[in-house]
A and B are shown apart, each in its own frame.
Chain A
Amino acid sequence: MVNVLDIKVVRDLWSMRLQLLSIAMLVAAGVAVFVMSVSNYRSLIGAMESHYRNERFADLFAGTTRAPLVIADRLREIDGIGIVEPRVAKPVRIIREDTNLPISGRIISLPADGQPLLNRLHLVQGRWPDPLHPEEVIINAAYAEARAVRMGEPIEVVLNGRLQDFRVVGSALSPEFVFATRSAVPLPDDRNFVVLWAGEDAVASAFDMKGAFNDVAMTIAPGSSVRHVLDELDRLLAPYGGTGAYDRGDQPSHRFLEDELAEQETLSIFMPSVFFGIAAFLLNVVIGRMVEAQRGQIASLKALGFANGTIALHYFKLVTAIALLGSAVGLVLGCWFAVGVVGSYRAFFRFPSLDARFEPWLLVAATLVSVVAANLAAATSVYRIAVLPPAEAMRPATPPALQTFAWLQTIGSRVIPLQYIIAARTTLGRPIRTVLSTIGIALAIPLILFGLYWFDAIDYMIDVSFSRVERGDAFLTFTEPVSTDTLHELKALPGVLNAELQRVVPVRLRVGYRTYRTSAIGLDPGSELRVPRDKALQPISIPADGIMLSRQIASQLDLHVGDTVSIDVLEGARAVRELIVRRISDDILGSSVTMDRSALNHVMREGPVANVAALRIDPAQSELVWSRIKSMPRIEGSSVKALWLSLFNDTIGGMVLIGALILAGFGMLIAIGVVYNSARIALQERAWELAGLRIIGLTRREVSAVIVSELVAELVVAIPLGLLIGRYLIELIASARASQSFQIPAVIDPSSYVIASLLVIAAAFASFIMVRRRIDTLDLVAVLKTRD
């Protein structure tokens, strides 16, 4: 025979379906965000690990100017080193008929017998080059895709200043170029950067590197000291123009990937915690009030002789049913979103396979957490009522401490219509409940703000980075240092409004055992096309001597203004200098060391040369400018701000957009859920009172005013409170997210505050309509028959 209480579970579920649905929605939002962020993180880690393992990503890297191959054998003798793979890797430039923009690239030699030992290629399309055809190359899949390169297509490459024809026979992925970028700028520009892999004979002869290498990838034996091996490598390679050995931490692709993963890790813990925390709190409020509203029923059941345990079990079944429903929806949504979010990473990180992973433990954990949270939320309320003697529980909840508000009687109620007095007394007379549901509504706002904040942060990053710091429209890099003549030449080009030279060299900063590889940028005093700024966005002048450091580097190396840092230049004469930190700049994108250009030239023991030019171009004449520049020699590559910005919008923008919309959507749902529930429960608890008001002749509008004004009062407090909490949480997230590659600032545009508030008000308005509809359909006769 079916347990009668179980029938009650089913009936209760059905009669409160909308209300329960909104509770289930809370659970679903928490579960979905949890599944989405954890899955996103685990998927990236998983894709990275299997790519690194399958393609044998090297542990250590080093560069030289030119070292004979026998040196590679010396490296193999270093204690703790594993595989050593010498190769030739050089910058190149690609010429394409269909674009005036220089396309820069990197060519890497492949062993004659095919796959290298380390950093193997994962062939995506085509085939391996035929050793008998030295003109055959494999290119990176990202470029092949971006430029729609067909297999068998010719490709014109400028190697070492000479134009040479190659033929693309395959496209591939490499663990070295998961995130393919050529400069300090943390964004892959797949259309204008290409990696070519060609037979070692072809590459070596083009660069005069027969029997030699200039780049080496290595593995390290487990348990060996990385520091020791790197020092040994530096010592052995120094005579051959070693540019400093480094581990994965300084490998550009890996460094960026690691940053992103670290960030995803914080997010995958932080966001679901915040979401779950808020959802659990709201569950507590909502379920608590739902149980409270049934205190009469609980009392009757107890009076009839049902044991506390039986009654508690009844509520736990009810709540578990809701939590399971919510989890089911949340799991489906979470998986669906994860697929979308992980998919949006594909344009960004190139892995052989990057698919959303859903580990069983994750799904089970999400469900368990939500069921437990929901039951805990219900437990407190059920317990409170279960311990009451039935007689007491049968009476309506203790009337509010009304005497405290006697002043309202003398002052207020003569002037204010009594329906507002009812609202005020109910609100103030149950302070705990009012505070809880106010906080509940308030907490919906941070969730919406989380979503909107990303848009603001990105707008801010773009504004600061591209209209205040990097003020040039385009940048040219030269294959070798150029003099002021080139500057005049560039300035003379029709369409070039302004031009400035910069000296950019790779350096390694060293403080004790800590090192950091980055670029040193030499700027002329009063430089206008690159303006470092402080936190308040005020320009910082370039120190005449010493260096200016990005705050990220300073904090990583624990450096302060006035400290001395050792700088190894990884180019030319390999100068080593001790320099004083003079200023700290607040960079948002990338991190660098900035110096006075002539000071940097001095360190390099060279004349007043430069290797980068920043240009301001008249947009109407840009095509003309680029066609002229294309024909200039010694240009290695270029980057164009406008292209860069559209790229930014397509990649990061798209990625953020998905996440942000999901968050804002959930915030919105939660806002509706909470406000709707508050209103619904208020109605449920007070149907009797409201019907009484209708019977004595108050109109629907006057009666609605009672509940609506209570909600409005809560909203008036909840909205500013929610905005404050949102701001605080965002600052917390921003500080947790600070990484080396970029810092997402805690900026929230005023319009986001307005939008978040309006969304909550809209949710409230929808609830008001619902309140009004309920009051319109209040069955006065039915209410008269019951006291409950």
Chain B
Amino acid sequence: MQTSEQEAEDSAAQPPVPVFVARGLSKVYGSGDSQVTALKNVDLDIRQGEFIVLLGPSGSGKSTLLNILGGLDAPTSGSAKWRDHQLTGAGDAELTTYRREHVGFVFQFYNLIPSLSVEENVRLVAQIASDPMDPKEALELVGLSHRARHFPSQLSGGEQQRVAVARAIVKRPDILLCDEPTGALDVDTGRLVLAAIAKVNAQLGTTTIVITHNSAIAGMADRVLRLSGGRIVKEEPNPNRVSAEDVQW
């Protein structure tokens, strides 16, 4: 908490140093005739604590970009780093450490471990983190502490996704990456999940990137990036952030 306050003060004084710096990121799949360019020469700076929403048509390269920033995938060319972690050209062990210590993920498919209870799914991450919060506290944040002893198969899709959010935040991540977290959910459930994400972003100062097809969600962002054909075609700062409850779908 100390550090984020510090940084908040810093940001008031001068333009803050970006945490994510990507230059000339390209991703090409395949070769020859069947070659697909998923990302073309993307430059990107993201500041500490920023809430970014990625919009764009299907196949525009959103997931590819997010996966590279999350240390799950490597670009074909270009460079990306988070603080002093070089994300391009890093080995598996370094990337694993990066994910383990700094990144929380939420995906469209909740990706919970079916044989672990809700609380254990969250604790699984707490177990490997250096300064985790209490798993109960994380579940509290997403409003599911009363279901702690249930197994994923006993929860609804929205509830499972909130567990996924709890699992992503329990380690107090520096970065929260969400790929269509509400893609499989109805409006009300989607709101609950978004609220949880926004809360983490606000309370912990977690740098947050959310991919969505729902442009209404863009209202929650500090900045909206639009991708098309593998390029960032538009960048819109959003001075008037709305809360998840007020998002109009």
Binding site for B on A (CB under 8 A): 396, 399-400, 402-403, 406, 409, 413, 417-419, 421-422, 425-426, 429, 688-689, 692-700, 702, 776, 780-781, 784, 787
Q: 28 A-B pairs, CB-CB below 8 angstroms?
A: A396-B114, A399-B153, A402-B151, A402-B153, A403-B151, A409-B117, A413-B123, A417-B127, A418-B127, A419-B124, A421-B116, A422-B113, A422-B115, A425-B115, A426-B115, A689-B113, A693-B113, A695-B105, A696-B99, A696-B105, A696-B167, A696-B168, A697-B100, A697-B101, A697-B103, A698-B124, A781-B73, A787-B109
Q: How far is B111's CA from A461's CA once the two chains are assembled, in angstroms?
A: 62
B36 to chain A: which residues have CB within 8 Å? none
Q: Which residues of A contact B117 (CB under 8 A)?
A: 402, 409
**Is B228 an interface residue when CB atoms closer than 8 A count as contact?**
no
Residues of B within 8 A of A699 (CB): 93, 96, 100
Q: Which residue of A lies closest to B101 (CB)?
A: A697
Are A696 and B72 in contact, with the CB atoms below 8 A?
no
Nearest Cβ distance between residue B39 and chain A, in whole angstroms?
A: 13
Interface residues of B in 97-141 (CB under 8 A from A): 97, 99-101, 103, 105, 107, 109, 111-117, 119-120, 123-125, 127-128
**A787: chain B residues within 8 A (beta carbon):** 109
How near does chain A come to B147, taking the closest CB pair, in angstroms?
13
Q: Which residue of B lies closest to A426 (CB)?
A: B115
- In the assembled complex, the Cα of A417 lies from the Cα of B116 at a distance in Å of 12
Does B149 belong to the interface (CB within 8 Å)? yes
| Contact A421-B111, Cβ < 8 Å, known A399-B153, A409-B149 | no
If A409-B117, A421-B116, A689-B114 touch, does A696 touch B153 (CB 8 Å cutoff)?
no
Whether B67 sits at the interface, judged by CB under 8 Å, is yes
Residue of A nearest to B104 (CB): A696
Q: Is the CB of B149 within 8 A of A406?
A: yes
Q: B67 touching A399 by the CB < 8 A rule? A: no
The residue of chain A having its C-beta at the shortest distance from the C-beta of B125 within the complex is A696
With A696-B99, A700-B92 known as contacts, the answer to whether A418 contacts B151 (CB < 8 A) is no
Q: A406-B149, A696-B100, A698-B100 are in contact. List 15 more A-B contacts (CB 8 A).
A: A399-B114, A402-B117, A409-B117, A413-B120, A425-B115, A692-B111, A695-B99, A696-B125, A696-B167, A696-B168, A697-B97, A697-B99, A697-B128, A698-B128, A784-B179
| Chain B residue with the shortest CB-CB distance to A785 | B63
* Chain B residues with CB below 8 A from A698, complex form: 96, 100, 124, 128
Q: What's the least CB distance linking A430 to chain B, in Å?
A: 10
Q: Which of B96, B112, B151, B167 contacts A694 (CB 8 A)?
A: B96
State the Cβ distance, B81 to closest chain A Cβ, in Å: 18
- Majority secondary structure of chain A interface residues (helix, strand, loop or mixed): helix
Q: Cβ of A421: which chain B residues have Cβ within 8 Å of it?
A: 115-116, 120
Q: Which chain A residue lies CB-closest to B111? A: A692
Name, among A402, A697, A699, A776, the residue most crowded by chain B CB atoms within 10 Å (CB to CB): A697
Within 8 A of A (CB), among B139-185: 149, 151, 153, 167-168, 179
A402 touches B115 (CB 8 A): yes
Choose among A399, A429, A695 the residue that contacts B111 (Cβ–Cβ < 8 A): A695
Kindly report which residue of chain B lies nearest to residue A696, judged by CB atoms.
B125
Chain B residue at smallest Cβ distance from A688: B111
Taking a contact as CB atoms under 8 Å apart, the answer to whether B120 and A409 are in contact is yes
- Give the CA-CA distance A418 to B120 in the complex, in Å: 7
Shortest beta-carbon distance, B36 to chain A, in Å?
Answer: 14
Query: CA A688 – CA B149 in complex, angstroms?
Result: 23
Cα A419 to Cα B105 in complex, Å, equals 19
Note all chain B residues with C-beta closer than 8 A to A400. Answer: 115
Q: B67 contacts A781, CB within 8 Å?
A: yes
Which residues of B lie under 8 Å from residue A402 when comparing CB positions? 115, 117, 151, 153
Q: Quick one: which of B72, B100, B113 contacts A781, CB cutoff 8 A?
A: B72
A243 to B197, CA, bound (A): 105
B151–A399 contact, CB under 8 A?
A: yes
Return chain B residues, CB-CB under 8 Å to A697: 96-97, 99-101, 103, 125, 128
Which residues of chain B from 64 to 100 have any CB-CB distance to chain A below 8 Å in the complex?
Answer: 67, 70, 72-73, 92-93, 96-97, 99-100
Residues in B with CB closer than 8 Å to A780 are 67, 72-73
Task: Identify the 8 closest CB pairs spanning chains A and B, nearest first.
Answer: A697-B100, A425-B115, A692-B111, A697-B99, A399-B153, A418-B124, A780-B72, A781-B73
* Neighbouring A residues of B67 by C-beta, 8 Å: 780-781, 784
Q: In the complex, what distance in Å separates the CA atom of A425 from the CA atom of B121?
A: 13
B208 smallest CB distance to A (angstroms): 17
CB nearest neighbor in A for B72: A780
Are B72 and A695 closer than 8 Å at their CB atoms?
Answer: yes
Instruction: Tell me the smallest distance from the CB of B150 to a CB of chain A, in Å.
Output: 9
Assembly CA distance A346 to B97 (angstroms): 67
Point out the residue from A406, A418, A694, A700 that lies within 8 Å of B123, measured CB to CB: A418
Query: Separation in Å of the B98 CB from the closest CB of chain A?
Result: 8
Closest residue of chain A to B73 (Cβ to Cβ) is A781
Given A402-B115, A422-B116, A696–B149 Cβ distance below 8 Å?
no
What residue of chain A has the Cβ atom nearest to residue B126's Cβ? Answer: A418
Least Cβ–Cβ distance between A690 and chain B, in angstroms: 10
Report the minimal beta-carbon distance from A612 to chain B, rounded to whole angstroms: 74
C-alpha spacing A700/B123, complex, angstroms: 19
Cα A399 to Cα B113 with chains together (Å): 11
Q: Considering the chains assembled together, what is the distance between the CA atoms of A734 and B28 in angstroms? A: 67
Which residues of A are found within 8 Å of B107, using beta-carbon distances?
784
Known contacts A399-B153, A418-B120, A695-B72; is-contact A429 B115 (Cβ 8 Å): yes
Q: Which A residues are CB-close (under 8 A) to B109?
A: 784, 787
Please give the distance in Å from B58's CB to the nearest CB on chain A. Answer: 12
Could you tell me the distance between the alpha carbons of A403 and B151 in the complex, rounded to whole angstroms? 8
Complex: chain B residue closest to A428, CB-CB: B115
Q: CA A100 – CA B4 in complex, angstroms?
A: 103
What CA separation (Å) do A233 and B116 show in the bound complex?
86
Task: Give Cα A421–Cα B116 distance, bound, in whole angstroms.
Answer: 8
Chain B residues whose CB sits within 8 angstroms of the CB of A425 once the complex forms: 115-116
Which of chain B's residues have a CB closer than 8 A to the CB of A418?
116, 120, 123-124, 127
- Return the chain A residue nearest B105 by Cβ: A695
Residues of B with C-beta under 8 A to A776: 92
A400 to B114, CA, bound (A): 9
Min Cβ gap A706→B in Å is 9
Inside 8 A of A696's CB, which chain B residues have their CB? 99-100, 105, 124-125, 167-168
**Which of A396, A689, A700 lies at the interface centre, i.e. has the most chain B CB atoms within 10 A of its CB?**
A689
Assembled-state Cα–Cα distance A700/B151 (Å): 25
Question: How many whole Å from B206's CB to the nearest CB in chain A?
Answer: 15
Q: Hey, which chain A residues are within 8 Å of B73, CB to CB? A: 780-781
Which residues of chain B have C-beta atoms less than 8 A from A689's C-beta? 113-114
Q: What is the minimal beta-carbon distance from A105 to any residue of chain B, in angstroms? A: 77
A251 to B110, CA, bound (A): 81
Cα distance A702–B99 when bound, in Å? 14
In the complex, A781 Cα to B69 Cα: how many Å? 13
Which chain B residue shows the least CB distance to A427? B115
Q: Given A413-B123, A697-B128, A692–B72 Cβ distance below 8 Å?
A: no
Residue of B nearest to A418 (CB): B124
Bound-state Cα–Cα, A419 to B168, Å: 18
Chain B residues numbered 32-55 whose CB sits less than 8 Å from any CB in chain A: none
| Least CB separation from A691: chain B residue | B111
- Distance (Å) between the CB of A614 and the closest chain B CB? 71
Give the distance in Å from the alpha carbon of A413 to the alpha carbon of B93 in the complex: 26
Shortest distance between the CB of A566 and any CB in chain B (Å): 75
B residues within 8 A CB of A700?
92, 96
Contacts of B151 in A (CB 8 A): 399, 402-403
